[in-house]
Amino acid sequence: MKDEEVLEILEEAARRLSIKLDYDDLIKGEVNTEGGMFLLKGEKRILIHRGLSTKDRIDVLSRVLSDVDTEEIHLPPAVRKRLDKARTPAAGNPPIE
């Protein structure tokens, strides 16, 4: 599966989960982040740095969506596996509680 296709599937998954997704310039001044999810007035939102490569956008979206219940939406097995991998803590690092 090509990176562009994976990114499109992840972006569509966010929409189907009612999570607003935007890209903006997040690496400037005192702000220095690739992106993440936050709540604004009770609405879940994902904001990702627009300057990231497609692969890095996929990594950020995978990490963010791995913490969201996606069982109610269809995702191709390769994408679901990517989310599971993003959810798994790195070897030797205990999960954050």
**pLDDT for the residue 95:** 44
**pLDDT for the residue 91:** 45
Asked if residue 31 lies in contact with residue 20, where contact means CB atoms within 8 angstroms, the answer is: no
The CA R_g of the chain, rounded to the nearest whole Å, is 14
Question: In sequence order, what are the beta bridge partners of 48?
Answer: 23, 35
pLDDT band for position 90 (cuts 50, 70, 90): low
DSSP calls for 68-88: S--TTS---HHHHHHHHHHHS
27-70: pLDDT as tens digits = 777 778 899 999 999 999 999 999 999 999 999 999 999 999 99
Domains, the chain: 3-86 (3.30.2010)
> Considering the chain, what percentage of its residues have pLDDT values greater than 90?
78
Q: Which residues have CB under 8 Å from 15's CB, separation 6+? A: 21
Residue with tokens 């990114």: 7
Asked if residue 16 lies in contact with residue 73, where contact means CB atoms within 8 angstroms, the answer is: yes
**pLDDT for the residue 32:** 81
Cα 47 to the center of its chain, rounded Å:
9
